Structure 1
Amino acid sequence: MRKRKNIVSKGLCKLTLKEGKYVESHILPRALTMLNKRGEKAIQKEEGVLGKLRFQGWYDNQICIADGEKILSDIDNKAIKILRKNQLVWSGWPTMLHSLTDDKIKLDEEQGLGYRLLTGLDWKALKLFFLSILWRAAVSEREDMKFVSLSTDMIEVLRIALINKDPLSVKEFPVRLYQIVTRGAAHNRTPIIEDFEISVPPFQFRKYKVCRIYLDGLIAHITLDPDDYLINTLKGVFLGVNDQTFIFAHKFENSRSFDNLISAISN
């Protein structure tokens, strides 16, 4: 695993499979990971490891040549416009807005949990966007992306999907969204793969592998090993099931992002 940025000028583009000059590829879009306008260094912290100051953003200079990076940039640009237009990320909110006000948000004020419904959302562009981040994290050799590892076959399915700009079927890499509907502390997090459990009557559980991607107050969960039971049980919450997109909603102080931030600061 490559721990530092190496200067390699040419090589094979992991997306287009063409030889050429490498360019810088942001694994998470810079537009959604800037913690301040000047881009000063921020503290990067891993559990059990001493924090360090580093410039914001995660990128890799051994993923793509210019043709491949253009494909990724086009995917990013389209999705970011959709996310901001629909106020799904904090950078799409008015500057002074602390809490998202939407008559389609149903929130239990006491528990700080609920859901939001959006009609006519371009789910194909959004799913492709999150699949592209999953692919970037999986093919990157940067130490920061060590928590995302996929099989060669899965990486190839994602690569072809990105080349063809195909979001795949609902049953393939299904994506569900969680939005933090009160503005919290600006922070970033690398994608991670973890277990997700779902209850199966009577008194049993099924466990699935999920890639969790955090961006600017929005979390995407991509299930890596879905089956018919999962799809049928949670079919109403995956992108592309129908024209009305279901989004889990919670306040920042009731979010896992808040807990993670407190834990990082405490450690």
Structure 2
Amino acid sequence: MRGICQLTGSHGEFVDAHLLPKALTRAGRTKGEKFVEHGPSANRPQRRASSWYDRELVTQEGESLLQRFDDHGITELRRCGLVWSAANSLDASEPIPLFWTAFRAARVRSKKPKRLRMFVLSLLWRAGATNREEFVDFSMPQDEINHLSELLNRNEVGDERDFPTFFLYHTGKRYEHNHTPIYQRSRMHGSEIPADHYRFFLDGLVIFCGHSNDQNPFWQKRNDFAVGFKPEFGVFIQEFIESRQYRDLGDVISLLNEQEA
């Protein structure tokens, strides 16, 4: 099928675009392996060898741009030990004292923070631009989708108030699975201020992002944890078996077992 690339505006043949990077969501490390795939409104949980993709989103020009952001961003995530598939886990030997939350935190040093930033912006754009029904829980205004497209095409990080981002890394016992991105409102990490935010889960890493030009004081008070602008930033840490992600996954696996019985 041919059409207009929603990212670059070019006309051409559409190609399969993974909405979450294949390198972090593919189960094929063992032959026949499949990941649990789920989300709040993703019909019903399933087991699949790879995650969601869109066949009417981008042409090869747009996919090549997204692939570059994926390659650079994932390389940096793995170098920092921020995903389960990294050769070395996150170094938590420099803890950050936190008095306002039960979470732990550690300092991360990134050699190329811009690559992390562009990777996150590309995730936001894909989740906002797709029409796949599994992403119904990810609601983004069109003006934000347009702004993200402009930043990606110009390879610009934008302002620090544009889609402010921080990371939460799960340690300890792990269970690899895929989860649709969501949009939610909650009080996060000891904050008394509710914050609207976008949430991704990728290979043990939870990514929280605010809105474009987000004025919520929550993000400003967590400036030391802001991802993508400074070489050094804080990352929240939580044992996977103590996390919301683990609790949700347990419910999903129980439902899957009932379906497959």
How far did 1:210 drift?
0.6
**Matching of residues 217-228 of structure 1 within 5 Å:** 217-224=204-211, 226-227=214-215
Q: Tell me, which stretches of 5 or more residues in structure 1 are unaligned? A: 1-8
Matching of residue 182 in structure 1 with residue 172 in structure 2: yes
SS of equivalent to 1:206: coil
Match of 2:18 in 1: 26
Is the Cα–Cα contact under 8 Å of residues 116 and 228 in structure 2 kept in the other structure?
no
Deviation at 1:181, TM superposition (A): 2.2
Q: Please give the TM-score of this superposition, normalised by the length of structure 2.
A: 0.85
Residue in structure 2 matched with residue 89 of structure 1 by the alignment: 83
Q: Give me the whole-angstrom Cα distance separating, in 2, the residues matched to 1:150 and 1:224.
A: 9
What's the TM-score, normalizing by structure 1? 0.84
Matches within 5 A, 1:210-249: 210-224=197-211, 226-227=214-215, 229-240=217-228, 242-249=230-237
- Contiguous gaps of at least 5 residues in structure 2: 256-261
CA pair 22-262 structure 1, distance change in 2 beyond 3 A: same
Is 1:208 equivalent to 2:195 in the alignment?
A: yes
How far apart in 2 are the matches of 1:218 and 1:41? Answer: 19
How big is the shift at 1:44?
3.5
8 A Cα contact 2:36 2:178, kept in partner: no
Equivalent residues of 2:80, 2:90 under 8 A apart: no
> Which of the residues 228, 237, 244 maps onto 1:256?
244
State the shift of 1:183 in Å: 4.2
Task: Verify the 8 A CA contact 1:191 1:212 in the aligned structure 2.
Answer: yes
* CA separation of 1:11 and 1:248: change in aligned 2, threshold 3 A: same
Which amino acid letter does the alignment assign opposite residue 257 of structure 1?
A: Q
Partner Cα separation in structure 2 for residue 150 and residue 50 of structure 1? 23
Does the CA contact (< 8 Å) of 1:76 and 1:129 recur in 2? yes
AA of the residue aligned to 1:223 = G
Tell me the distance in 2 between the aligned counterparts of 1:206 and 1:238.
17
Aligned match of 1:143: 133
Q: Secondary structure at the match of 2:139?
A: coil
Q: Which amino acid aligns with 2:155?
A: K
Does residue 166 of structure 1 match 2:160?
no
Q: Is the 8 A contact 1:113 1:254 kept in 2?
A: no
Q: Which of residues 34, 37, 40 is equivalent to 1:44?
A: 37
SS in 2 for 1:266: helix
Contact 1:125 1:167 in 2 (8 A): no
Distance 2:135 2:87 in 1: 29
Partner deviation per Cα, 1:22-76 (whole Å, 9 max, x = no partner): 1111111111012342364444345585434444211111111111111100000
Tell me the secondary structure at the aligned position of residue 189 of structure 1.
strand
1:120 CA displacement: 4.0
Q: Distance in 1 between matches of 2:10 and 2:124?
A: 21
Report the alpha carbon displacement of residue 199 of structure 1 after superposing the two structures with TM.
10
Q: What root-mean-square deviation, in Å, do the aligned CA atoms of Structure 1 and Structure 2 show?
A: 2.7
CA distance in 1, matches of 2:171, 2:186: 23
